[in-house]
Structure 1
């Protein structure tokens, strides 16, 4: 058997399946609930600030998001937020954690096409239980040689994971320039950006278009041809 030349890692949320739209739909409901207290733009700015403050405590995912909504509701109402509103926010969070998984177009065929030439990994961040649930429901679990659910995506994390696989080339594929591309490039891997229509403001970053190992594709259906061109 020929030695595989590639280690290719995939992000999960909004790369393999839809995720951010659930957050944005919940944020829209949150803005409606507090419309008498403040305008939507101000509320979203306060919520994003709370999420950023709380990442080191709660991590990424729905649970931290819900706690940040509750904290923001308390702040913008000067503590007057009702228990009914807090109960509604908790219910919205539980609904998000039960949302069915919907794959993006062409995901399975793309992974299957590169698998003969690569060790195929999943590297995702967020709540352990929720990420495990989504992977199980996705039906993609059998495609991955290795799965990593991490608290954050950093250069050190990528370096450590890729070092386990003795291949000539490493690649990280994902929708977030900030989390999937820039730290992977710093770890010596190729960084492949697959933009999604919806992106959390925290993940915003400028694509490193001048970097020799950066590429952007419009969907995962283009990945097999890209890997073949780089091999």
Structure 2
């Protein structure tokens, strides 16, 4: 369960209202402290923050389930496919929470199995440090998918965009509030989403713009 569901409701709603920022309606509702009461009349920042808290709680549960389905469902299934058809080349593509699912499938592959030829993650809703061997802000820790890109025979391609405002604005504070580690702004580098600013802290990663990839007719390397 996300920690923010058992935290102080007013503070949690305020944090999410602050994160929404310009997305709130014009007028006094834009100000958290000066907004009208959600009970006393009309939509306001507290109500918008409360709705966002519930939405993020649903995303949190969905993300955890996607990780479990990938690791304990898809990963072992791919191992069985590899045994039945050793020469088959499997390409995995996932968007949003589906990107988390296919990435976590790499954790569930049987030892020695390498049936996956490539993985493409489109706007993934999980941490940008997921594949890191060491976290820059906590060197004693690693990402949840540490070094699993090496279980892919070909490239791991990560499509990300700074224009993805949902991942750029709401993901960092939601992630911090979910594990109880306190508030965080959208610019907190510890809690960025891989679908917003790409793979982080993985040596050898190559970044390419969409225009460059289209000109070249493809992409190479571990990330994009």
TM beyond 0.5: no
Higher relative contact order (CA 8 A, sep 6+): 1
TM-score bucket (shorter structure): 0.3 to 0.5
Q: Which has the higher helix share?
A: 1
Higher strand share: 1
**What's the TM-score, normalizing by structure 2?**
0.34
